Amino acid sequence: MKKNLLFIMAVSAMFAGCSNGEDFDGKEGGNVTPVTPVEKSDVEVVFGTATTAKVVQSQTRAALGDSWNNEQIAIWGVDRAAGAAWNTAAAHLFGQTSPVTATVAAGGNVTFNDGPYYYPMSSNISYSFYSCYPSPANNQVSSNPTSIACSYVITGKEDVMWGKAEGKDTLYLGNTYSGFNAMYFRKVENAPVPNLQFKHCLTRLNFKALTGTGFGETTPVAIKNIKVLNVPTGVRLAVAGDGAGVLTATGLTGDMSLYNGDTAMGNELIIPETSTDKKDATSLGTVLVMPSETGTYNLSVTLVGVDGEGKAITQDITGPVTITSKDGFKAGTQYNVILTAYGLQIVKVEATMGTWGVGDDITQEIN
């Protein structure tokens, strides 16, 4: 049977953050792709141009950057009926319990890596779509009749994101059609486009530093290394079903370094700007960590005294620093952590919540 290649499904991959003051190019469910219903035809699952977020506030809102850039995402299309067994291939649009993969290009264009795929004409099963980033290997995916999950080892460098586009029933010309399936798109003109919306599952800590003033003669210092101590590294993401969208720790822990892009903070000497204005703070790096319900992260900070040419003149001094938040460190939220060094002692830490989330400033004295 000749298949009609109807470009009627544009699953939009968008960064769905929790910050205020941001909007998107289109409202959820409001985008439509004009199509002429065609009887007795399979319908191709085709991704259109993904909607990208308008960044209103001044700082980056996604660990991936401000937009997608050929990232690989995993996608499941699952039977949305009650009682569907998601550990069987029959309950999956793509005929397998493992996900298919897609590439999200710059500008938000989403393309199946091994497509095309079709909604079968002979089936009235309605599907919902679930997705995650990074795309997991098959041995990282597990399923049972009511849930799908994948496991990751987080290093502090990569984001973990979860997305969904759940099918809904649509009333059209007096009839109710269930999305998403072939009949839904054949019968309903200008069917609402499903939006695959993502949320961030980790907490982002952006570290900066200042050299303090006002304490008399001090030894110029450089920051040599920072690590976040004893944080979860093994995690499980519930992709569909029970607890969908929730990231949990699996028990594995470790220490995490800061990153500048793909490069971990090593032993390079970074001399912070001398100022009382946090806008002048020197950037150190970023780390993505499991959210902390206790509102605490423990750090190790290594300082070294330097001469006027920036060369080390003292032994390394490594000491503990604790950053706290009375409301906890939340998923999908970034915190700007400013360390102020007076000589060879960190005496002040200030953390402000960035544009992933909105909340009170956090300050803490370290003695």
Same domain, 123 and 216: no
Please indicate, yes or no, if residue 3 is contained in any of the structural domains: no
The verdict on residue 277 lying in a domain is yes
Helix (H, G, I), strand (E, B) or coil at 173: coil
What CATH number is associated with residue 246? 2.60.40
pLDDT score for 52: 31
Provide the pLDDT for residue 351: 62
356 shares a domain with 262: yes
Identify whether residues 211 and 72 lie together within a single domain: no
84 & 196 share domain:
yes
Residue at a domain's end among 200, 224, 246: 200
Neighbours of 88 (CB within 10 A): 12
Last residue of a domain, one of 200, 219, 253: 200
Q: Is residue 248 part of a domain?
A: yes
The answer to whether residue 189 is domain-embedded is yes
Question: Within a domain: residue 5?
Answer: no
Q: 1 lies in a domain? A: no
Q: Phi and psi for 87 in degrees, rounded to 5? A: -95, 15
Say if residue 149 is in the same domain as residue 77. yes
Domain region containing 145 = 12-200
Instruction: Tell me the per-residue pLDDT of 197-232, one tens digit each, with 9 for 90 and over.
Output: 888 899 999 999 888 776 555 668 888 899 999 999
Q: What pLDDT shows up at residue 187?
A: 84
- 4 found inside a domain: no
pLDDT, average across residues 312-339: 85
Whether the pLDDT of residue 19 is over 80: the answer is no
Burial class (CB in 10 A: 0-12, 13-18, 19+), 188: buried
User: What are the phi and psi torsion angles at 324 (to 5°)?
Assistant: -135, 155
Count other Cβ atoms within 10 Å, centred on residue 261.
9
pLDDT in tens, 122-137: 788 999 999 999 999 9
- pLDDT bucket at 22, cuts 50 / 70 / 90: very low
CA distance 199 to 193: 19
Please tell me whether residues 257 and 111 are part of one structural domain.
no
Number of domains in the chain: 2
Can you give the pLDDT at residue 317? Answer: 81
Task: For residue 338, tell me if it sits in a domain.
Answer: yes
Asked if residue 37 has pLDDT above 50, the reply is no
**Same domain membership, residue 126 and residue 233:** no
Are 176 and 233 within one domain? no
| Tens digits of residue pLDDT in 154-174 | 999 999 999 888 888 888 888
> Which of 145, 165, 200 finishes a domain?
200
Q: How far apart are the first and last CA of the chain?
A: 76
